[in-house]
Amino acid sequence: MTALFDAALLEEAAKKSALLWIAPAGHPARAVWHVWHDGAVHILTARDADGLEQYVPGLADAATADVTVRSKDKGGRLIACAAAVTVLTPDAEAWPAAAAALHAERLNAPDGEAQPERWARDCVIVRLDAPHTIAYGEALPPGPHRAAPVPTPAKTRGALPKNFSLGKRRLRGR
């Protein structure tokens, strides 16, 4: 009974959460967007850090990865588990359906409908199959679970221009 409850809890939490925290063995945890498809979490990751998609170093080479699902509204940890990693290649039978599910959820795609072809060249789709037992509630590790941000090539656009109209009172009728 608990295995069925755990599977249903993981499915519901993963469907509602926009991000998962993934930590492949020997690498720090990273926030990644995902899709729940065919009974498992599917993640798209670039083959190298210079790609257009999210990059999770070590995920495609790992046998397992630690997965943390957080609450969509409060941000607290809901579930933690170690999931088995399976890499889907473009010639795999499950790749077209997984790519279609990821394509439907991908926001702000730079190349629109052509992105599955780009993914086949430049990216890897990873399927994360969770075990039958997961940690939730009191079984979660104690503590804040904080970590320093990982280095990223992403840049901010710089300081915003000053808006001198803020703070001034408008006079009506003038």
Question: What pLDDT digit, counting tens, does each position of 34-82 carry?
Answer: 999 999 999 999 998 888 899 999 999 999 998 988 877 776 777 888 8
CA dihedral 160, 162, 168, 172 (to 10 degrees): -80
CA 95 vs CA 87, 104, 112, 128, 132: distances in Å: 10, 14, 18, 14, 24
Please name each of the domains of the chain with its CATH number: 2-139 (2.30.110.10)
Q: What is the pLDDT of residues 132-147, one digit of tens each?
A: 667 766 666 667 666 7
The pTM (predicted TM-score) of the whole model is: 0.79
